[in-house]
Every structure is written in C-alpha cells, then in structure tokens.
Chains A and B, each alone.
Chain A
C-alpha cells in the first residue's frame, strides 16, 4: 500500500503548479493511471481524500483516466490494446509481445483552478493575500 505516498506526491505537484499560477482554489486534479503503474485506483482515491485534508487542495476532486496497456505486435505491425495484463499477447493474432508502448503512466495531466483575478484594492480591503497558502 504505497498509494498514500503517491497521493502526497500528487498533492505536492499540484500545489506547486497552483501556487505558480496564483490560483485561488483548486477544484480538480486530473491524472492518467496506467494499468501497469503499480498503483491501485480505489486505494489512491481513498488516500487522496485523506491526504488533502488541511492542505490547499482540500475539497478538490481527483479525476483519474485509466490507461490500458498498449503493445506493439510485430506480426500485425500495429499497436494493440491488451485484453488483460495477465496475457501479453496480441488480441488480434495471438503473438506474444513484451513490447510495451503505453500503460505505465502515473502522470499529473492537469489541474482545474479558479484564478485570483480580483483587483488589488478589493484584496487589500479584506486583508487576504492573493493566491493560495501552502
């Protein structure tokens, strides 16, 4: 179970990006998760909720896009998507292939933010600094 440390890495990366963009709020974090990433989706979603508490990303949603394993089949001379990660063979012709094209991703793709674009006067009135605190 290393999903909690993965969740912390996601939060760190997303927070840094949000800070550099002067974001007021992070609404969602988009992630690509390969079937061969070694990370369990449900465990990651659970860990993310916990790990966000008390951070600038509290209340944000983790949106995960599952990426299947794609291999290159030399017989078909084409990229094919595996039916199962237990069987590395071409779903069309059955040739065994270890040649992974895609499916190991653990990638922070994007963040959904609201940017702080109030004018300076208004911020000064409330005494609140711009951007989010980390």
Chain B
C-alpha cells in the first residue's frame, strides 16, 4: 500500500456555492430589470430607519420597491418597514450572523421580480461576516452612524472594501456627540480611496434628497437598460 501522502491540486473558491448562486440571482435581477441594493452596518447604525424612509419616499415617486430584511431573531424590523406599505419579508437567520445568497433566493419565492424597480436587502447588523457573502446585489451601502466613532472604517476595512458607497447616518446628532466629520472621511479614504460618501439624517431628512436622487439615477439607469433588451 502506498502510504506516502500526495498533494492534489484543487484550486476552488471556498464560497463557490454562494458565488454561483449570487451569480444566478444577479442574472435574475438583470432579466427582471430590478435594481438591488443591500445595506450593511453594525447593529443600531440606522439601517431600518433609513430603509423605512427610503421605501416610503421612493414609493411616492412611483417607484415599485420591496425589501428583504435579515435579523437574528425577531420580525420587528419587517413590521417597521411594512408601515411604508411596500412588500417586505423578514429573513430570520437564527444563529447565523449574515445573509447568504441561498437565503435571498428562498425569500424571493412567489415574488414577481418584473413588477419591481428596486429591491432592498437589509443585512444582519454585523460589520464582519457579511463581507464574505455576495448576495447578487448591484449596490452595497455600508452605513456608519456618527455615534460610532470616526475610526470605524479603520477597524473594519474589509467591509468598506466590499461596499460601493458609505453612508454616514444620524447627522442630526453629530454636534451633540462631537463627531469629527473630516476625521471620518479621512478614515474612509484611507481604507477605500475615492469611495463615495453620503451624509444624512433619516430623522430630520437632512441629506436625504441627495441620497434618494443618487438611488433614483441608479434605478432608472438599470430599468431603462432592461427595457431596451
């Protein structure tokens, strides 16, 4: 018997299954002409509040929106988002600290994607684990609130490198917590040079128009591309 171990080359991505499923999701979204935005942040950075405002405001402009919202245990977030009247589904992950492509695929069951212009996916509050999982989204927003400290990007460089745009939330509290905006912008620029940054307060509406315009332009660009095909 040959007892000498032999090295056999494999060369495959460990998350191959997730990546394949994410690719399939991206294709479904492409064919349906739906623009997909995911939100990641630490717990309590304001994802659900921003999303509630986003769904309500986009619906007012005639944009067909829907949302999937991930949470470890409760359905509270879905209940909050449902106030916007948009279709919302909760993904309860149990002990799993992130969403993956399979959870997204399952949650879409029965939804007619062609009827939508924009789908939002709110990830579980976590700045580490979601960075490894592609959900098939077009745009990933990473949120950081002014109460979290200016150096958050330096502590979590990986998530900032998988996101497309950084959103600084709770700007209405900036003065009260002596938030150093230029310090935060420097931190973001240090881990992701040139990253687009939006500053807003979902509570007061400050910066919300600019953020919504940014989203609308991206939605229009995708839905009109789909219409041409």
Main secondary structure of the interface of B (DSSP, over half): mixed
Query: B25-33, B69-77, B83-91, B153-161: which one contacts chain A?
Result: B153-161
Q: Quote the shortest CB–CB distance from B151 to chain A (angstroms).
A: 9
Contacts of A38 in B (CB 8 A): 128-129, 131-132, 158-159, 162
Cβ–Cβ contact A110 & B8, under 8 A: yes
Counted as pairs of residues, one from A and one from B, with CB atoms less than 8 Å apart, the total is 110
The answer to whether B193 has its CB under 8 Å from any CB of chain A is: yes
| Contact among A2, A13, A36, A112 for B158, CB-based, below 8 A | A36
Complex CA–CA separation, A37 to B157 (angstroms): 11
B132 near A111 (CB under 8 angstroms)?
no
Q: Is B97 an interface residue (CB 8 A)?
A: yes
Q: Contacts A37-B132, A38-B131, A86-B157; is A1 near B97 (CB within 8 Å)?
A: yes
- A28 interfacial by beta-carbon distance below 8 Å: yes
- In the bound complex, residues from chain A placing their C-beta under 8 Å from that of B16 are 13
Instruction: Place the interface of chain B in its size category.
Output: 35 or more
A88-115 contact mask (Cβ, 8 Å, vs B): 1 or 0: 1100000011101000101111111111
In the complex, what residues of A have CB within 8 A of residue B189's CB?
A: 96
Annotate B1-33 by CB proximity to A: 1 below 8 A, 0 otherwise. 111111111111111110000000000000000
The answer to whether A109 touches B157 (Cβ under 8 A) is no
Residue contact B195 to A98, C-beta cutoff 8 Å? yes
A89–B192 CA distance with the chains assembled, in angstroms: 10
Q: How many residues of chain A are within 8 Å of chain B by beta carbon? A: 41
User: Is B128's CB under 8 angstroms from A2's CB?
Assistant: yes
Q: What residues of B have a CB within 8 angstroms of the CB of A89 in the complex?
A: 190, 193
Can you list 21 pairs linking A and B with CB atoms under 8 Å apart?
A6-B132, A9-B17, A14-B10, A30-B7, A31-B14, A36-B161, A38-B128, A38-B129, A38-B131, A38-B132, A38-B158, A85-B157, A86-B191, A89-B190, A96-B190, A96-B193, A98-B193, A107-B12, A109-B11, A112-B6, A114-B5
Question: Hey, which bits of chain B sit against chain A, CB under 8 A?
Answer: 1-17, 96-98, 128-129, 131-132, 154, 157-159, 161-162, 189-195
Which positions in A face B, CB cutoff 8 Å?
A: 1-2, 5-6, 9-10, 13-14, 17, 21, 25, 27-28, 30-31, 36-39, 85-89, 96-98, 100, 104, 106-115, 117-118
